[in-house]
Amino acid sequence: MDSPHPRLMWIMDDARQGAKQIAYQLAVSTDSVELSKGTANIWQTVKIVSDNNRVNYNRKGLQPYTKYYWRVSVWDQNSKINTSAIASFETGLMDKSNWKGTWISDNNDMNAKPAPYFRHAFDLTKKIRSARAYIAVAGLYELYINGEKIGNHRLDPMYTRFDRRTLYVTYDVTSQLQNGKNAIGVLLGNGWYNHQSTAVWFFDKSPWRNRPAFCLDLRVTYEDGTTETISSNKKWKTALSPIIFNSIYTAEHYDARLEQPGWSTAKFIDTAWKSVINRQAPSLNIVAQTMQPIRAVEKIPAQSIKKLDGKTYLFDLGRNISGVSSITVKGEAGTIIRLKHSEKLGKNGYADQSNIDIHYRPTDDKDPFQTDIFILSGKGEETFMPRFNYKGFQYVEVSSDKPIDLKKESLTGYFMHSDVEPVGTINSSNNTLNKIWQATNNSYLSNFFGYPTDCPQREKNGWTGDAHIASETGLYNFDGITIYEKWMADHRDEQQPNGVLPSIIPSNGWGYEWGNGPDWTSTVAIIPWNLYMFYGDSKTLGDNYEAIKRYVNHINDLYPTGLTTWGLGDWVPVKSVSPVEFTSSAYYFTDVNILAKAAKLFGKADDQQKYEALALKIRTAINAKYLNTTTGIYDKGYQTELSVPLYWGIVPDSLKHKVATRLAERVKQDNNHLDAGILGAKAILSALSDNGYADVAYSIASQETFPSWGWWIVNGATTLYENWNIQADDALSLNHIMFGEIGAWYYKGIGGIKVDPQSPGFKNVLLTPNFIEKLDHFESEHTGPYGKIKSSWKRESGVVEYSVTIPANSTATVFFPTGKKVSANGQVVSAGNGLKVVAGSYIYLVK
C-alpha cells in the first residue's frame, strides 16, 4: 500500500455477555521479534481509554518498501488485557519518484492485433533475502519469473481512467528467484486501455488509447542488507505471443502453433526477439492497487454436453456466470475451434446471443461476439483459457472446422469477479426466497470487476445508477469496501470542474450526454454514505466531500426551484410510468441530505446550515407539487410514487402512516405484484416494512408469478434479469444487478439487521425483526466491523423464538413488532421504545 495513514482494525473475539473494550494500546515495529518481546521501534501508544477498534496510523514517515508489524492490546470490561497476534502491512513505492524503471512497449501501433511478450535475463550474484516485483501497466498483464506465472490474480490491473490514474501491483517473488541466472517475462493484453472492438460507446476512440505498455521494478534485498533493482528498460526484448487477438469486450484468439516454450526462462534464446521502445507514462498518478483482485473464484464443471451436428457441441454450465471457459482438446495442427458463449439458446438448440450483442458494431467478421478462437498446435492434449477477456454466459457452443471429439469434462467454466469475502448469509423456510438471495449474490458478483458494472456481457459498463441501487445488497453480503473506495477515486478522476459526472464510470467521454442525472450519478454521495454506515469509516465520505458539494451546487444552479427534470426516471418499469422530475428530485434531495449530514459530521457548520436549508427547500418543493396531504397520495399514486418518498425520507412525519397505508392498498390493488422500475423496486420493500406493512412487502418479495423476482426463479433463473418480462424483445440481459435491492431487504425487512445512523458501523445495531406470517423460520447473519451479528427466528405452535447475537464491543437496540408479548428466561421483557442490549447471545419468546 501507498497510504501514509493505513487504517488498523481489530475485532474482539469474546462471546461473553457484556464483552467490551474499555481501552487499547497499539504497537508498530519493523522488527517482529522485538515486537513479540514487547518493544516497538516505530510507534507505541499509551493505554488509550476508548472503545475504538479502528485507528488510522497517524504518525509521519512510513518508509517505502518496508514491512511494518503491529499488534494491539485490549482491556476488557474487567480490565483484563488481551494481546492480538502480530499482523503486518507493507508499504510500496509511496512516491512516484521512487520508480527506477522506464515505461516500455513494442514498436507496434494500437491497431496491431497480437499481444506482445517481453523478457529480460539477469544474474543475481548474492544470497537473496527477499524480493518484490512492482508492475504498473497501461492495459492488462501476466507476469512470469523463470517460467512460472506469478500470483493468481486475473485481469490486473483494475480498470481506471488510465490517463488520470495508473495502478501498480506488488508481488512477493522471493521464492521464484534463484542465485545465478534468472529471467523475467511480461505478457501484455489490451483491456480497456486499447479497446479494439467497436460498439456504441466508442471505446475504440478513447482518449487514452494506445498499444499497451508497462513499467517494472524488481527489487531484490540480499542477506547482506544491500538491494538491487532490475527494471524495465531498453535492455528488454520483445516478440509477439500466440495470443493473436484479445478484447476485454468480445473474446480472445489463440494460435497454439505460435507458442515459444520457455520464453520466460533464462535458458531461452531470444536472438530473434526485437528491441523494445521507450514510452511515455500513461499518467503521472501511479498508485498501488490496494484492493481485492479479480480471481477465477469458482470452478464450474459443465452439467451436460450435446452434439448438435457433425462439428458442433453444446455445453451447459447449469447456471449463468461471469468469467471464462477452459477447454481441453486433442486434434490436428491448425484445427480452428470456436467457442461461442451465450446466456440462452435459440429454438434450434444453438447458442443465441440476440439479447446481448445488440450494442456491438463489428466492422468485419474477424471479431465475433463472446467467441474465443483456439487454433490447435496438434501436439497432443492442449488446453486454452483466455487471459485478457471475460464474458457473461451459461452455454458454450463449440464448433470446429475439422471434427474433434469432446466429452462433458472437456470444458469447465470459471466464475470470475473481484474476490471479496462473503460477510452475510440468509436462510428461510421459503426456498424461492433462498434462491432469489443466491441469484442476487450471483448477479452482484458477476458485476464486480474492480468497479461495479451493469452486466458482464452486453456492456461491462460502470453504470452509476445500477451501482448505488445495489450497494447495500453488496455491503450486507460482501466485504467490498476496497472496490468502492477505488471506484470513488474513479469518480473524482472523472468529475468535471463544474461538478458534472458521466453516467458510466470510468468513462472514455461517453455518458456526459445521456443518463447522468442525479437518479444515476448520486453514487458520488450515496456510496460514501453507505460505506460510512456499514463500516463506521468516514474516510471516503471525507474524500468525496468537495465532489458532492460541487455536484449538488451544479444542480442547484441549473434548477433553482428545487425540482429537477434531469435523469432517466424509473427505468424498465412494469407498466406505470412516474414523472422523471419526481424521482430525480428525490435523488437530488438525497444527495443534499447526505451532504448536510456529512457537513455536520465534519464540523462544517456553515455548510451544514446551507445544505439543510437546501434539502428542506427540495423536500418542500416535491411535497408541494406532488403530495395530496388530504389523501396521502403522491401524484397518480403508483407504487413508485408512494415508495420513493417514504424510503428517502421525503414524506412529512405526520403523513408517513397515511402514505404507507395508501401504498399497501395500491399493492393489493395491483394483486400483490410489483408495478415498478428500478427506482421503485429499490424503495418499495423497505417503504412497506419500515412502516408497519412487512407482510405486504413479503407478499411482493415472495411472489412467483409475473412480475416478480420469484417469476424469474421459477423459470430457471440463477441470476437476476434486466427486465421483469422474460419474453421482452429489448433490455433483456439475464445478468443485471439493478433490481437487486431485495438482497439487502432480507436483512433489513425480515431479519431486521440495520445500521444505526447515530452509531454507524454496527457499533450499535438496530434490530427490527419482522416475524412474517407466511414463514416458519428465517435466519440472517452479517459480519460487520465488530464481528458476527445474528438475527434469527422460528415459529412453533404460534410462538416465535427469536435468537440474537451481538458481537463484543458493540450493542443493540431491539424493536419487537407492536402488540406482542416478549419474554426472556421466563421473565416478561418490556420493549416499548426499543430494548437496549449489550454484546452477547439472547433468546426471546414472542407471542
Residues 586, 587, 591, 592, CA torsion sign: negative
Residue pointed to by grid coordinates 522506464: 102
| Positions in 549-568 near ligand BGC (CB under 6 A) | 568
Burial bucket for residue 187 (CB in 10 Å: 0-12, 13-18, 19+): buried
- Should residue 571 be labelled a site residue for ligand BGC when binding is judged by CB under 6 A? yes
Q: Minimum CB separation from ligand BGC for residue 504, in Å?
A: 8
The residues in 454-483 that bind ligand BGC, with binding defined as CB under 6 A, are: 454-455, 459, 463, 465-466
Cα 117 to Cα 271, 373, 398: the distances in Å are 14, 20, 28
Cell of 142: 501476466
Smallest CA-to-CA distance from 362 within 511, 200, 208 is with: 200
Residue 500 to residues 520, 552, 658: CA-CA distances in angstroms? 12, 9, 37
Burial of 774 (0-12, 13-18, 19+ CB in 10 A): exposed
Give the strand pairing for 286-288 and 166-172. Answer: parallel
For ligand BGC, the closer of residues 454 and 670 by Cβ is 454
Choose the binding region for ligand BGC from 318-326, 453-461, 810-818, 833-841 (rule: CB under 6 A).
453-461
Cβ nearer to ligand BGC, comparing 248 with 814: 248
Residue (361 or 366) nearer to ligand BGC, CB: 361
Which residue's beta carbon is nearest to the bound ligand BGC? 454
Q: Which stretch binds ligand BGC (CB under 6 A): 167-175, 451-459, 573-581, 588-596?
A: 451-459
Burial state string for 679-716 with b = 16 or more CB within 10 A and e = fewer than 16: bbbbbbbbbbbbbbbbbbbbbbbbbeebbbbbbbbeee
| Of residues 156 and 519, the one with the C-beta less far from ligand BGC | 519
- Rounded distance between C-alpha atoms, residue 675 and residue 670, angstroms: 7
Minimal distance, residue 428 CB to ligand BGC, in Å: 28
The C-alpha atoms of residue 69 and residue 63 are separated, in whole angstroms, by 13
By CB under 6 A, is residue 451 in contact with ligand BGC? no
Looking only at the bridges linking them, the beta strands covering 799-814 and 140-145 are: unpaired
For residue 586, count other CB atoms closer than 10 A to its CB. Answer: 29
Which part of the chain contacts ligand BGC (CB under 6 A), choosing from 125-133, 160-168, 452-460, 754-762?
452-460
Nearer to ligand BGC, 409 or 730 (CB): 730
Identity of the residue, 465 or 562, whose beta carbon is nearer to ligand BGC in the bound complex = 465
Beta carbon of residue 458, minimum distance to ligand BGC (angstroms, whole number):
7
In 3D space, the residue among 800, 167, 165, 783 whose CA is nearest the CA of residue 505 turns out to be: 165
Per the rule left: phi > 0, alpha: psi between -120 and 50, beta: everything else, 318 is left
Of the residues 169, 426, 738, 765, which one makes contact with ligand BGC according to CB under 6 A: 738
Query: Cα dihedral angle (221, 223, 225, 230), rounded to 10 degrees?
Result: -20
| Single-letter code of the amino acid located at 263 | W
Letter for the amino acid at 376?
L
- Grid cell listed for 455: 452486466
With respect to ligand BGC, which residue has the nearer C-beta, 145 or 568? 568
- Residue 515 as a binder of ligand BGC (CB under 6 A): the answer is yes
Closest to ligand BGC by CB, 185 vs 569, is: 569
Closest C-alpha among 200, 194, 192 to residue 360:
200
Q: In whole angstroms, how close is the CB of 445 to ligand BGC at the nearest point?
A: 16
Q: Under rule CB under 6 A, how many of the chain's residues touch ligand BGC?
A: 11
Minimum CB–partner distance for residue 569 and ligand BGC (Å) = 9
Cis peptide before 368 (omega within 30 of 0): no
Q: Is beta strand 252-255 parallel, antiparallel or unpaired with respect to 371-375?
A: parallel
Spell out where 676-763 has E strands. Answer: 753-755
Give min distance, CB of 359 to ligand BGC, in A. 8
Nearer to ligand BGC, 252 or 581 (CB): 581
Smallest distance, ligand BGC to C-beta of residue 307, A: 35
CA 217 to chain centre: 29
Smallest gap from Cβ 808 to ligand BGC, in A, equals 41
| Strand 799-814, strand 822-824: pairing | unpaired
Tell me, what amino acid is at 175?
Answer: S
Please, which residue, 273 or 393, has the CB nearer to ligand BGC? 393
Q: Which residues inside 252-311 make contact with ligand BGC, applying CB under 6 A?
A: none
- Least CB distance to ligand BGC at residue 522 (A): 13
CB of 219 to ligand BGC, least distance (A): 43
Query: Considering beta carbons, is residue 121 or 469 the nearer one to ligand BGC?
Result: 469
Q: Which is nearer to ligand BGC, 217 or 459 (CB)?
A: 459
Q: Which C-beta is closer to ligand BGC: that of 69 or that of 520?
A: 520
The verdict on 511 binding ligand BGC (CB under 6 A) reads no
Burial of 649 (0-12, 13-18, 19+ CB in 10 A): middle
* Nearest residue (CB) to ligand BGC, 156 versus 459: 459
Could you tell me the smallest distance in angstroms from the CB atom of residue 679 to ligand BGC?
A: 11
Q: How far is the CB of 572 from ligand BGC (least distance, A)?
A: 8
Q: Name the residue nearer to ligand BGC (CB basis): 453 or 593.
A: 453
Task: By CB under 6 A, tell whether 644 contacts ligand BGC.
Answer: no
Cβ closest to ligand BGC, residue 515 vs residue 579 = 515
d(CA 767, CA 782): 12
Helical spans, DSSP H, in 148-268? none
Shortest separation between residue 461's beta carbon and ligand BGC, angstroms: 7
Which distant-in-sequence residues (6+ apart) come within 8 Å of 720 by Cβ? 439, 440, 442, 443, 709, 712, 735, 736, 737, 739, 740
**Nearest distance in Å: CB 571, ligand BGC:** 5
At its nearest, how many Å lie between ligand BGC and the CB of residue 471? 14
**Nearer CB in complex with ligand BGC: 355/764:** 355
Nearest approach, Cβ of 736 to ligand BGC (angstroms)?
6
> In degrees, to the nearest 5, what angle opens at C-alpha 345 toward C-alphas 339 and 349?
90
Site string for ligand BGC, 400-439 (x = CB under 6 A): ----------------------------------------
User: Does residue 99 sit in helix, strand or coil?
Assistant: coil
> How many angstroms separate the CA atoms of 171 and 510, rounded?
35
Q: Is the CB of residue 584 less than 8 Å from the CB of residue 592?
A: no
- Shortest gap between Cβ of 738 and ligand BGC (angstroms)? 5
Residue numbers at the binding site for ligand BGC (CB under 6 A): 454-455, 459, 463, 465-466, 515, 568, 571, 736, 738
